[in-house]
Structure 1
Amino acid sequence: MKHVGIYLRKSRADIIEAETLDKHRAELIKFAEDNKMDYENYIFEEIVSGTNDQRTEFLRMLELTKLEVLDAIIVINWDRLTRNEVDGARLRKTLQESETLVIQLNPFEIIDLNNEGDVDKTSFMTFFAAYEARQIVRRNRAGKIRGALLGKWVNPVIPYAYKRNKKTGFLEIDEPQAEVFRRIVEMFLSGMQTRKILNSLNGENIPSPKGGEWRDTVVRRMLVDEVYTGTAIFGKAKYPSKGTKKDKTRDAWIIFPNAHPALLTEEQRNEIINLFSTRKRIVGKAQNASQILSGVLKCSVCGGGLHFTKTPNGMWVRKCYAVDGIGTRCGSKDKGVAVVVVTAEIVKILESYKDSLMQPSHDEQGAQEATIAKIKRLQADLSKHDKGVVRLLDLYEYGDIDRATYNERKAQRAKERVELERQLATLEASADNTTTTAARIEAIDKAVEAIRINDASPEATKALNAELHKIIEKIVYHNDGNTMTLEVHYK
């Protein structure tokens, strides 16, 4: 045996054990070097559960094994390779077909999957490893539940303004962050809006819980979180399978009051919730008053959406009052103007655009034909590429190229295919999203007609806004008080 792979895996469950990746690596490398084996380019190392079917290094090792690059795989124990019965069957099949051995160091054993006795043995080993993995999960969860019932903090994320005592498992106050939290509470209860609060924090370069800028949602969630009343909660959701989450009802949670020092009284939290409820109703009303140009009309300086206000003379476009993350106001000098003035100008622009679309032109058709031709060329290139991969394998099997050359060329081919697939996906998406001239003209006619009818009902306003969004990406507004210009960006 000359070429060997070294596989190391550590899962989170191993944290409570004495073994470490460093210790395993040293032991495996020593064995390979003592036996004069070539391993330097074939060390596969990862921190992941053995039941996980998305182990990148494990899958990479399997691919090399299929290509018969490795004479053997060295591991501390068979269960480091897999605790997943499906993966176990795939691993055994690959090892059999490539005639690759497994050298287990603890206890020492050379496993040959072309030996019936070793096949049976590894089947049992994988079964019991999978069983033990499930038991570890159950024990860890049971340990968390016992800790939660005592009021210990068992969630992986530590709440802002607290730190977890590693010896006791309870939360303790992180005084520097706690001082920031108290300021947030004080500012909010004094009547300050959350937007102004985060602007104040960002202006002082105070890092958020994740170390970056503060966001409105972060401040809001923090202010109503029960953890700040000293309550520890565990088991709000369950995860039936990987990537799925199902929230539990409150009566199924593990709730432990007075588990740690409080930074917020129940009375304060209730007052905060009531204030949010009141302010939310006001914001909701403003959001429902959708305007014709909502989300379409943009500031010429900061690019933010412009707002509207109701006056005795009708709806007006307001000058830009946008504020960035640290409270700096937009420097736009644009003046406000009546919405009807803007919509009248938009009608002129749209009709001019419609006239240009109706002129005899083959540009759009030519662009579509060019896109389709490019798609066909890329599809042909992919077909040629796949045939090339087959020819490459033939060269290797007939001995015209060695294994190292084959692997190098195959890797290059794989990169080329990824790039071809990316280009093809981009073009196909472009072809699918192409808006025809007829559809644009129809959308323009509907928008112009709706503006001229001038039905100010909420339903008609929203419908017109939707028609504008079909053909217009944005309209950049500029008005110095004497001249108004609109720069329309079409979709």
Structure 2
Amino acid sequence: MRKITKIEANRPDPFANPKLRVAAYCRVSTDSDEQLESLKAQTTHYEKHIKANPEWEYLGVYYDEGISGTKKENREGLQKLISDCENKKIDLIVTKSISRFARNTTDCLEMVRRLVEIGVFIYFEKENINTQSMESELMLSILSSLAESESTSISENNKWAVQKRFQNGTFKISYPPYGYENIDGQMVVNKEQAEMVKYIFSQALAGKGTGKIANALNNRNIPSKRGGKWSGTTIRGILVNEKYVGDALLQKTYTDSNFNRRTNYGEKNKYFIQDHHEAIISREDFEKAALILEQRAREKGIEKRNSKYQNRYSFSSKIICSECGGTFKRRIHSTGKIRYVAWTCNTHLTHKEECSMLFIRDKDIKNAFITMMNKLIFGKDFILKPLLNKLKIMSKSGNLSKIETLEKQIESNRKQQDLLVSLMAKKYLEPALFNKEKNELQM
């Protein structure tokens, strides 16, 4: 009788099909308890679902909580997922639906194409779509357009509800400024922070600049509203915020049709509520601080809605750092009893580790400028006149008018696209027709 002994394999079969490395993606749009419970349930579901398939290898669940799906740039979990795909760590992504993955048609198609190019595919459970077996992008484009329209419709409904609360005075400020906190929907004074607000106003009324006030707070290790460092801009924001006298100006910002947050310079209605909550600063001190800021702005030649210095110094905002791309700031330097003017990179002043560019004396910059101007004047026949002739030829050829025409056409297309989205949200258009018209506009 022959004796047979089995010798176990000690290395994998090179001809066996490797398991697909699979990850899941989940998203909830708010950070409420109910939504977070839903996120937890989804995470558990996908872990069991992926592990149950013997041909799949579970690589975890990527998720975003309390984030809108209209902009992919705002979702850290999604960005991490895309990054791991590009690093060849993932073969397949499983997600609940197109609307959970992206509510923006352009973003959805861009991400799908980007992943397909590197050999990573997505399976949408609700729509039963696998990008690996798709013959065309038409169905995905239509479905993602519906998701975008749904998002637009929800956004418009939310805006309408907020507008109504603005009008009847029932709007609740969910994220109050420094010095206040939200308790049961009401703005209540935070006593510890309120003392710092009073300190900021007292220092401003004493003649200190916003930058010096910020430095003083940073030196005392006092955190800002978000726990970070103070800056002159943050201090100025406090000094001009009407909420510190107990008033509330609503709709200072708004979201445009492309879901971008913009400052309201009169494009939308504003709503002013006097004595909305408890004040921290008296109206007299608030008005005095406003006058001081206006006087400083006039002295520095700063125009409203323009952060650049206009007339104070010849080189203000005109010297660009070759190392970091920042602008240079004029400062007074001193060596013993000798004082002199120098220009230093703003980035180097605040974060030396980010830019090592040293200062340049004012007289050296002026000498270099004069030398360059003299060279241009001396070589005007070789440099300036040929350049002027080329500019004249460009103008005569109608290039500038063509550019203006194209810009007008682009603006017209954008308005038509906004109209299409609005009609789709109101269900006046069929999805297929909406998608066809939108694609033509994009082309």
**Bin for the TM-score computed over the shorter chain:** 0.5 to 0.7
Q: 5+ unaligned residues in a row in structure 2: which ranges? A: 1-16, 303-309, 320-328, 342-366, 376-443
Distance of aligned partners of 1:275 and 1:140 in 2 relative to their CA distance in 1, 3 Å threshold? same
Measure, in 1, the Cα distance between the counterparts of 2:122 and 2:278: 57
Match of 1:21 in 2: 39
Specify the structure having the higher radius of gyration (Cα).
Answer: 1
Alpha carbons 1:236, 1:250 under 8 Å: kept: no
Contact 1:112 1:118 in 2 (8 A): no
Counterpart check, 1:276 vs 2:299: no
TM superposition shift of 1:28: 0.7
Tell whether 2:75 aligns with 1:56: no
Q: Which of 1, 4, 7 lines up with 2:24 in the alignment?
A: 7
Partner of 1:443: 371
- The reply to whether residue 253 of structure 1 matches residue 270 of structure 2 is yes
Could you state the TM-score of these two structures normalised by the residue count of structure 2?
0.53
CA distance in structure 2 between the partners assigned to 1:234 and 1:144 by the alignment:
10
- Give the Å deviation of 1:228: 0.8
CA distance, structure 1, for counterparts of residue 121 and residue 228 of structure 2: 50
Quote the Cα distance in structure 1 between the aligned partners of 2:122 and 2:311.
69
Retained in 1: the 8 A contact 2:253–2:263? yes
How big is the shift at 1:270? Answer: 1.8
AA paired with 1:160? Y
Residue matched to 2:223: 207
2:95 alignment counterpart: 75
Partner-residue secondary structure (3-state), 1:259: coil
Alpha-carbon distance between aligned partners in 1 of 2:56 and 2:266, rounded to the nearest angstrom: 57
Tell me, what secondary structure is at the counterpart of 1:221? helix
**Using a 3 Å threshold, how does the CA distance of structure 1 residues 4 and 102 change in structure 2: closer, same or farther?**
farther
- Identify which of 318, 330, 334 aligns with 2:337: 334
- In the other structure, the counterpart of 1:145 is 163
Q: Which segments of 5 or more consecutive residues in structure 1 lack a partner in the other structure?
A: 297-303, 308-318, 321-331, 340-438, 448-491
Structure 2 partner of 1:185? 201
Percent sequence identity over matched residues?
21
| Separation of aligned partners in 2, 1:119 and 1:266 | 60
Give the C-alpha shift of residue 246 in structure 1. 5.5
Deviations 1:118-174 (A, max 9, x none): 999867654443332223322333344344443544465x31111122x32x21111
- State the alpha-carbon separation in 1 of the partners of residues 296 and 106 from structure 2: 54
- Cα deviations by residue, 1:90-116 (Å, 9 ceiling, x for unpaired): 788888998968372x7xx85567989
Secondary structure in 2 matching 1:245? strand
Cα distance 1:88–1:103, how it changes in 2: closer, same or farther (>3 A)? closer
Q: Closer, same or farther in 2 for the Cα pair 1:268/1:58, shift >3 Å?
A: same
Give the SS at the match of 1:136.
helix
SS in 1 for 2:234: helix
Return the structure number with greater helix share. 1
Is residue 223–residue 229 contact of structure 2 (8 Å, CA) maintained in 1? yes
TM-score (norm 1): 0.48
Per the alignment, residue 33 of structure 1 pairs with 51
CA contact 2:249–2:272 (8 Å) conserved in 1: yes
For residues 207-263 of structure 1, give each alpha carbon's deviation from its aligned partner in whole angstroms, at most 9, with x where no partner exists.
Answer: 344445543343333222211111222322334335573633298212222222111
Matches of 2:330 and 2:112 in 1, distance apart?
Answer: 60
Select which of 252, 262, 287 maps to 2:279: 262
User: Where does structure 1 differ by over 6 angstroms across 4 or more consecutive aligned residues?
Assistant: 61-64, 90-101, 113-124, 439-442
- Could you say if the C-alpha distance between residues 333 and 209 of structure 1 is closer, same or farther in structure 2, counting changes exceeding 3 Å? farther
Secondary structure of the residue that 1:40 maps to in structure 2?
strand
User: 1:9–1:80: 8 Å Cα contact kept in structure 2?
Assistant: yes
Q: Which moved further from structure 2: 143-152 or 262-271?
A: 143-152
Aligned pair count?
307
Structure-2 change in CA distance of 1:14 and 1:115 (3 Å): farther
Tell whether 2:195 aligns with 1:172: no
1:230 aligns with 2:251: no
What is the CA deviation profile of residues 428-474 of structure 1, one whole-angstrom value per residue up to 9, with x for unaligned ones?
xxxxxxxxxxx989828959xxxxxxxxxxxxxxxxxxxxxxxxxxx
Query: 2:54 aligns to what SS in structure 1?
Result: coil
